[in-house]
Amino acid sequence: MVSRIIPVDPFDLVIIGGTGDLARRKILPGLFRRYRAGQMQGETRVIGAARAEMDADGYRAMVRAALEEFDPVNATDTDAMAGFLKILDYVVLDAMGTDGWTDLAGKMHEGRVRAFYFSVAPRLFGPLAERLHLHGMADDDTRIVVEKPFGRDLGTARALNASLAQHFHEGQIYRIDHYLGKETVQNLMAIRFGNMLFEPLWNSQYIDHIQITVAETVGVGGRGDYYDRSGAMRDMVQNHMMQLLCLIAMEPPAKFDPDAVRDEKLKVIRALDPVEPNEIVRGQYEADDDKPGYREHVENPVSLTESFIAMKLHVSNWRWAGTPFYLRTGKRLRARTSEIAVVFKETPHSIFGPEAGQHRNILTIRLQPNEGIDLGVTIKEPGPGGMRLVDVPLDMTFSEALEPEAEDVPDAYERLIMDVIRGNQTLFMRGDEVEAAWAWTDPIIKAWEDRGDEPRPYDSGSSGPEDALMLMHRDGRRWRDIRT
Ligand code: BG6
């Protein structure tokens, strides 16, 4: 199935931090793929801006090398590569100073959408917004794109929002959470609101509990410094997992428009109860034969930061009262897998008697890898041995069902950048959403910091600390296996 490509009008996109890791790994390869797919016109300009002294040709050479490294297959398309390099330009820019700003302003085209991607540390967001304003680049056609971490608590998030709000209104600010750009994450809304089948059962009368797992096999790698100041709660739960929870738990918006969707997500975050300490398990991975443990990775032998977290959440509203949400995420776990499991209740009465056993329908939405959905259905076990029941999967892997050509499934960044250009904020976090998520997160972090809470050690390649299993066992439930 080939997706329809609708070219967008020529635009100016400035990547501030255009030589950085995110630009080379994600933003530029994403733009290249959209260019190659025919979505950008030749007059579009993508301007790298950074401190490094180089000219536009130097930048083109850097970008070519980045594309060859991070998108080797598409980079072999020499025509597309030549065309894409032509739309690039470069400005030497001092984000905190004055150098380069007049140059940059001179490169802007009148009457076009212009977007500034702040691919830099959050402390620069305010000064950048100020300079764009001072140099006449903060008009109504301007959009700014910012990355997580958007603050490290409510206070810092508010300060960031306030510094951006001095020169830009909310409709111009695109806060990226790359999970919202994932194809399967958007599918959560299609599955829920595009089918009659699920929504009538989507509440605490029929659903026993919901599990959300985002497991990674990688450790904290070269990001030890950032990660040790963040931990799994700030790095994954406050943003990505909160977004998944919102999409699963929200009320149907009246339409698929940015504020209608974000209003409903905000209500979910505001309905979250505070989490009791005994409903959270934090963990830290240990060394294995050939890989260092967490504390060695972050070079902090006394670190109390968690690389794993499991928690039980309650959404206090009519739909969800009595149905807990169990969330878990961690590094160096058994497999890389992200999935949401909606575990339905047992039938109110079994006509087949006790020997038929206990059965539940489970709807599993696999976000990555192997994207798809699987609905466990109870049927009669074949054979003459009486009415014994067995659960079998109705399993649909999207790539088999839809047969997309691999290149037609855009990566999260490609989709999100094009949404910025089209001016569609549905998949971006609104300022009040981010603040509400921090308002819920802050007391949880503060409580364990006040207690000096020690994360439980867990083996690399495991499912996390034993206590995380207990979190569910004591409720008579169990986590699904972490496996690909
Ligand atoms: C990032 C986190 O936002 O998301 C990383 O900072 C994490 O720690 C990553 O590894 C996970 O993203 P994905 O797309 O690989 O699931």
Q: Can you give the C-alpha Rg of the chain in angstroms? A: 24
Q: Categorize the per-residue pLDDT at 6 as very low, low, confident or very high, splitting at 50, 70 and 90.
A: confident
Considering 147, 167, 188, which residue would you say is the last residue of a domain? 147
Structure tokens at 366: 């696999």
**Domain range holding 328?**
180-410+430-473
Read off the pLDDT of residues 214-242 as tens digits, 9 standing for 90 and up.
999 999 987 888 999 999 999 999 999 99
Do 245 and 369 reside in the same domain of the chain?
A: yes
Look at residue 173 and tell me if it is in a domain.
no
Nearest atom in ligand 1 to 214's CA: 16
Q: Active-site residue 240, yes or no? A: yes
CATH of the domain at 306: 3.30.360.10
Strand order through the sheet with 389-397: 389-397, 372-380, 362-368, 337-344, 207-215, 325-330, 308-313, 280-285, 456-458
Asked whether residue 83 is assigned to any structural domain, the reply reads yes
> How many domains does the chain fold into?
2
Q: Is residue 277 part of a domain?
A: yes
**Same-domain status, 123 and 223:** no
CATH number, residue 22 = 3.40.50.720
179: alpha, beta or left? (left if phi > 0; alpha if psi -120 to 50) = alpha
Same-domain pairing of 352 and 457: yes
Q: How confident is the model at residue 62 (pLDDT cuts 50, 70, 90)?
A: very high
Task: Say what the pLDDT of residue 404 is.
Answer: 57
| Cα dihedral: 231, 233, 235, 239 (round 10) | -170
Establish how many alpha carbons lie within 13 A of residue 399's alpha carbon, considering only the half-sphere containing its beta carbon.
Answer: 11
Note whether 135 and 45 are same-domain residues: yes
Of 469, 209, 429, 238, nearest in space to 314 by CA:
209
* Residue 21 lies inside a defined structural domain of this protein: yes
Question: Cα(26)–Cα(42) distance, rounded to whole angstroms?
Answer: 21
Which tens digits make up the pLDDT trace of 414-473? 999 999 999 999 999 999 999 999 999 999 999 999 999 999 999 999 999 999 999 999
The answer to whether residue 29 sits within a structural domain is yes
So what's the pLDDT on residue 1? 47
Question: What pLDDT score does 409 carry?
Answer: 66
Q: Give yes or no for residue 147 CB within 6 A of ligand 1.
A: no
Residues 258, 335 share a domain: yes
201 within 8 A of 461, measured Cβ to Cβ: no
Q: Which atom of ligand 1 is nearest to the CA of 223?
A: 8
Whether 339 and 462 map to the same domain: the answer is yes
Query: From the CB of 177, is ligand 1 less than 6 Å away?
Result: no
- Our answer on whether the CB atom of 89 is closer than 6 Å to any ligand 1 atom is no
For residue 419, being part of any structural domain is answered with no
Q: Which of 127, 147, 167 is the last residue of a domain?
A: 147
| Contact 235 CB / ligand 1 (< 6 Å) | yes
* 189 and 292 part of one domain: yes
- Residue 464 Cα to ligand 1 middle (Å): 18
Task: Label residue 16 by pLDDT band (50, 70, 90).
Answer: very high
Q: Whose CA is nearest to atom 13 of ligand 1?
A: 179
Choosing from 216, 329, 368 the residue with most ligand 1 atoms within 8 A of its CB, the one to mutate for a pocket test is: 216
| List 167, 178, 209, 240, catalytic entry | 240
Nearest to 433 by CA among 192, 231, 234, 259: 259
What tokens does 212 get? Answer: 């959300």
Ligand 1 geometric centre to CA of 206 (Å) = 32
User: Which ligand 1 atom is at minimum distance from the Cα of 412?
Assistant: 14
User: Is residue 152 situated within a structural domain?
Assistant: no
For residue 54, is it within any domain? yes
- Indicate whether 142 and 247 sit together in one domain: no
Three-class secondary structure of residue 454 per DSSP: coil
Last residue of a domain, one of 147, 168, 200: 147
